[in-house]
Amino acid sequence: MPFLGPLGHVNVTVPSGQSIIVGAFGIGSAKVLYGSGSPQPIYYPQGVVSGGSTTFGSMSADQLVRIESTAGEVEYVIGAAPQLTRVNAAQMPTFKMGAAQAIKRSAANALTAHVGGGQASALALTSDINRVTTVASAGDSVKLPAAVAGRQVTVMNSAAANAMDCFPQSGEIINALSANTALSIAANKTVIFSCAVDGTWNSVLTA
């Protein structure tokens, strides 16, 4: 599904009889404009979307549509009966807009891995960047968020000596491991987890 980051824009053509759904998530909004004329179309505002999704159409003729984003993420889909499949803001990366419009991913520091290990009670990692500084014993555990396609999570084991176990959510997979199996992260190592398909994380170990 096409999407825009903050301050992005796109021009698309919506065929006659079809609609476009625009969804905006995070801080900010999406502005939708219709264009007419050529070769330099003039655009006319049609609406602003924030904190959810709005349907525009169905079109009486082929329509040039411009979408301008100031949101954390904007998604759109075109079709006779289009549907956005990721309209839950909790599934989206968290973007914070600073004075200079910089993008910052959410981060958590000074985390403590669950003593005794295991998946059920593992420390839940809720940020995009997670720095664990206390691993009292080898095998103490943390747990990734749900594997949603398009998400990326960084996990740092900044403990002095002990490796920690990093579990997926119940029923999910890391790399080619069996479901619910942890990936061990050595002390002073960082792993970047990326999700291309719901339910499965793939990892890259940094040097």
Mean pLDDT score across all residues of the chain: 83
pTM over 0.75: no
Whole-Å CA distances, 39 to 35, 36, 42, 60, 192: 11, 9, 10, 21, 45
Residues 191-200 have pLDDT tens digits of 999 998 989 9
- The most distant pair of C-alpha atoms in the chain lies apart, rounded to whole Å, by 68
Compare 63 and 102 and report the one with higher pLDDT.
63
Residues 36-92 have pLDDT tens digits of 887 778 888 998 888 778 888 888 888 899 888 876 677 888 876 555 544 444 444
Tell me which amino acid residue 201 is.
W
**Nearest by Cα to 135 from 148, 122, 147, 146:** 122
Tell me which amino acid residue 160 is.
A
Residues 127-173 have pLDDT tens digits of 889 999 999 999 999 999 888 888 889 999 999 999 999 999 999 99
Domains and CATH numbers, the chain: 3-93 (2.60.290), 106-205 (2.60.120)
